[in-house]
Structure 1
Amino acid sequence: MNDWTPKPNLSATLHKLPLTAEEGFVLSRLDGSTSVRHLLALTGLPPERLQAILSRLVAHGAVLPSTPAPRPPPLEARTDAPGEEPAAEEEAPPLEPEEEAPEDATVEVAAGNWRAVFERLLHPLPEDERASRARTAEEPELSAFCFDPVPTVIKSVLENMRVGLGHARLIARHHHNPVGLEALCGRAAFTMDGGVRRWLVRNPQLPSGLFRRLWAGRRLLEQYKVSMDRDVPEGTRRTAREVMRTRFNTAPAEERVELILTTEGRVLTSLMGLAVDGKTAALLCGRTFRSPMLIQNIARWSAAPPALIAHLLKQEAVRRQPQLRMLLQRHPNAPADARRGG
């Protein structure tokens, strides 16, 4: 049962269902890709209690029932001819780093309800009383306290033994005080969560120093995505570009190549003035280039190694497109015979 991945029923009319606050809390944590095993950590609920809530959500029609995985065909069903070797399966391409699914309408509705609880019932209380109550609060008050603008209250929320990833995501998204965000990022388990990181970089109050601490050691491709995300404030995007440039100088050659190839060379405009080492150049020269966009971006990269320019001039895609060949021949690192039109 712990391997089951509950999926919300998108056709259900949620506001007409007789859901309790606890059931609504669990439903808001379902994104269709999180298994029960991970939901235990996300919600902080005991296994038996979580299973009971999920069963009620299925009964209400808010969650789709689990379906068994299809069984593999029996061995005798193979169609290989006698004496033949089994056909080799095509190797699957490497997967991109898994990203968190965006919050769906269910989460948005729940967040609106928690904010309303905070504004109506909790915000009128004195600050010290809110901080005291937040340390021992249960749902739905605990989620509502995540909307408190005072860092002292947020620190109390983080001291609550029931706090989980769902609360951390709410704080990362809705708390707009750098002190509170610093307190949130003091919990390593939270900052490792993709959802928390996604909302942190979109928070306009994320301090640049905090971003540098959290993202300096992350992969180049992840830093690049932050720098290009239009939902991220320009100040954080600028910091992400600076962090990426710094890391590019020390990153493994394989990671540099991954960044250049995955972005089809678009990243190179952000790497002006930076050169690559011999291993990176050798890895690039060991590949076949078919993308005109990638070839064009490398041709406009002033730091492109001479060996890479020579390698690109030999590619079939370049031979077929004179405009690409001309771009490469005009590169300052192009071989002398290529610049002469040889």
Structure 2
Amino acid sequence: MEPTSPPEDWKPQPARSGADVRALTLSAEEGFLLSRLDGATAVRHLPALTGLSGAQVGTLLARLVAAGAVQPVAVPAVSRPTPLPAAPRIAPLGGAASSAVPRIAPGVTAVRAAAAVPAPPAGAHAAAAEPPSARDAGSSEAGAEEASAGSASAHDASARDAGAEHASAHDAGAEHASTEDAGTDEAVAEEDEVPDASGTLRRLFEAELHALSADERTARARGAVEPELSALCFDPLPAVVRALLENPRAGLVQARLIARHHVTAVGLEAVGGRPAFAADTGVRRWLARNPHLPVGLLRRLWGMRRLLEQYKLMVDRDIPEQTRRGARELLRTRFASGPAEERVELILRTEGRALASLSGLPVDGRTAALLCGRTYTSVLLLQNLARWSAAPPQLIAHLLRQELVRRQPQLRTQLQRHPNAPAEARRG
């Protein structure tokens, strides 16, 4: 009969040192294979180690085991499962023991209570009809399944609770963020809001107050309360506006209404002449957008503002053209006499766009030094500086040394052709 092939993972080991292997009669192949066995090499690696085929290795190993030269394959002992202890029977409600009541594996009741899963009533009669051993095994399996289900249910419930808690926290955070955003938006909107979106105040003035004489409206403006206080802001007479501003109840709301809707230079001067109102961003914004803004008030309000603020006023499309022209004159005047730091800020923050409105205006050495102390990485800024007719020679030389200009032949050529470019820069 053909010998059975040994397990591939078996690591054959020679007989103990006490055995007399030399007394055995072995063939050359058997002796050769025996010399390669060390107890650490598995059977599947022996063909590659010895050059023999797998079948030859199996046959030779069987002979060596039969001759006592190799220890036989160790058969692992099969451990018999320990039977589960019999669960105590549960007495019926009447107090007497009954064999019809099924046995319940230990711990099942606790798991059901923890998982809040009621016991299935359908299995009671079937369990009673089974023999005791079958009932014990069935109860054990049912207990294990219910314990697993109970653990899974408890885990799922915990996960759901944790997820719900996380979702609640996330929703609360989102709601808090939305509240903060809404509060910020409301604060910004409230700053510029003029309470006349529906035209109610204007209709009140036209329906009830406009029919009064100028003296009566002026007298009522000095002591008016809401809503007449805000409705009188639509009065076209500057005397009424001046009287309204003397009212102790008048505040920024009324000042913004007048700045937006009043039609005379005298009335607008009355609003802009009060420092508390002139310092308000909303009042200045509505005055700038009012087409009746006088040039003198424009100069007083924006003449000493920063260059960047004057530039923003000049490019604002919501401002009348005549006011934008006045802002351009203010910008040029301020640029010629303002601090060097403001000049550099204006050029850099606008990426040189403001230079188109400043043609012909030179800069001092301080401004040139600040511009030469920077590294330039914006192509648009470099292009605008190259078009700037008043760019100082040291700035042109500094720009030609920039890495971005070296990689842009067109920029380098444009700077080399600049009228203020140094002679050595043109040759380079």
Normalized against structure 2, the TM-score is what? Answer: 0.56
Q: Which amino acid aligns with 1:312?
A: L
Unaligned runs of 5+ in 2: 1-178
Whole-angstrom distance in 2 between the partners of 1:31 and 1:158: 29
Whole-angstrom distance in 2 between the partners of 1:145 and 1:107: 13
Whole-angstrom distance in 2 between the partners of 1:184 and 1:303: 40
User: RCO greater where, 1 or 2, for CA within 8 Å and sep 6 or more?
Assistant: 1
Q: Which amino acid aligns with 1:238?
A: R
**What is the total number of aligned residue pairs between the two structures?**
250
Match of 2:197 among 109, 127, 135: 109
- CA offset at residue 327 of structure 1? 1.2
Match of 1:33 among 184, 187, 211: 187
- CA offset at residue 31 of structure 1? 5.7
1:15-54 CA distances to partner (integer Å, 9 max, x unpaired)? xxxxxxxxxxxxxxx96236xxxxxxxxxxxxxxxxxxxx
Q: Which amino acid aligns with 2:363?
A: V
Report SS of the residue matched to 1:32: helix
Instruction: Verify: 1:293 aligned to 2:385, yes or no.
Output: no
Q: Which amino acid aligns with 1:145?
A: L
- Counterpart in 1 of 2:394? 307
- CA offset at residue 264 of structure 1? 0.8
Whole-angstrom distance in 1 between the partners of 2:270 and 2:192: 23
1:238-278 CA distances to partner (integer Å, 9 max, x unpaired)? 11111111111221111110011111111111111111111
- CA offset at residue 289 of structure 1? 0.8
- CA offset at residue 183 of structure 1? 0.9
Report SS of the residue matched to 1:33: helix
- Counterpart in 1 of 2:213? 126
Kept after mapping to 1: 8 A contact 2:307/2:334: yes
Match runs of 1:70-109 below 5 Å: 103=192, 107-109=195-197
Whole-angstrom distance in 1 between the partners of 2:297 and 2:356: 26
Question: Aligned Cα RMSD in Å?
Answer: 2.2
C-alpha distance 254-101 of structure 1, shift in aligned 2 (>3 A): farther
Whole-angstrom distance in 2 between the partners of 1:272 and 1:234: 20
- CA offset at residue 163 of structure 1? 0.7
Kept after mapping to 1: 8 A contact 2:385/2:391: yes
Match of 1:164 among 251, 254, 261: 251
Instruction: Verify: 1:247 aligned to 2:247, yes or no.
Output: no
Runs of 4+ in 1 over 6 A off after TM superposition: 7-10
Kept after mapping to 1: 8 A contact 2:302/2:310: yes
- CA offset at residue 215 of structure 1? 1.1
Q: Which amino acid aligns with 2:288?
A: V
Unaligned runs of 5+ in 1: 1-6, 11-29, 35-99
Kept after mapping to 1: 8 A contact 2:359/2:388: yes
Match runs of 1:45-56 below 5 Å: none
C-alpha distance 269-9 of structure 1, shift in aligned 2 (>3 A): closer
Whole-angstrom distance in 2 between the partners of 1:31 and 1:133: 36
Match of 2:416 among 300, 304, 329: 329
1:97-132 CA distances to partner (integer Å, 9 max, x unpaired)? xxx88846x84525x211111111111111111111
- Counterpart in 2 of 1:221? 308
Report SS of the residue matched to 1:149: coil
- CA offset at residue 221 of structure 1? 0.7
Kept after mapping to 1: 8 A contact 2:278/2:284: yes
Whole-angstrom distance in 1 between the partners of 2:376 and 2:423: 22
Normalized against structure 1, the TM-score is what? Answer: 0.69
Max Rg structure: 2
Identity of aligned residues (%): 65
Q: Which amino acid aligns with 2:214?
A: E
The answer to which structure has the higher helix fraction is: 2
Kept after mapping to 2: 8 A contact 1:227/1:238: yes
- Counterpart in 2 of 1:200? 287
- Counterpart in 2 of 1:338? 425
Q: Which amino acid aligns with 1:314?
A: R
1:139-189 CA distances to partner (integer Å, 9 max, x unpaired)? 111111111111111111101001111111111011111010011112011
Whole-angstrom distance in 1 between the partners of 2:383 and 2:340: 21
Whole-angstrom distance in 2 between the partners of 1:121 and 1:9: 40
Match of 2:265 among 178, 187, 196: 178
Q: Which amino acid aligns with 1:292?
A: V
Q: Which amino acid aligns with 2:342?
A: E
Kept after mapping to 2: 8 A contact 1:31/1:103: no
Match runs of 1:56-75 below 5 Å: none
Q: Which amino acid aligns with 1:308?
A: L
Instruction: Verify: 1:145 aligned to 2:299, yes or no.
Output: no
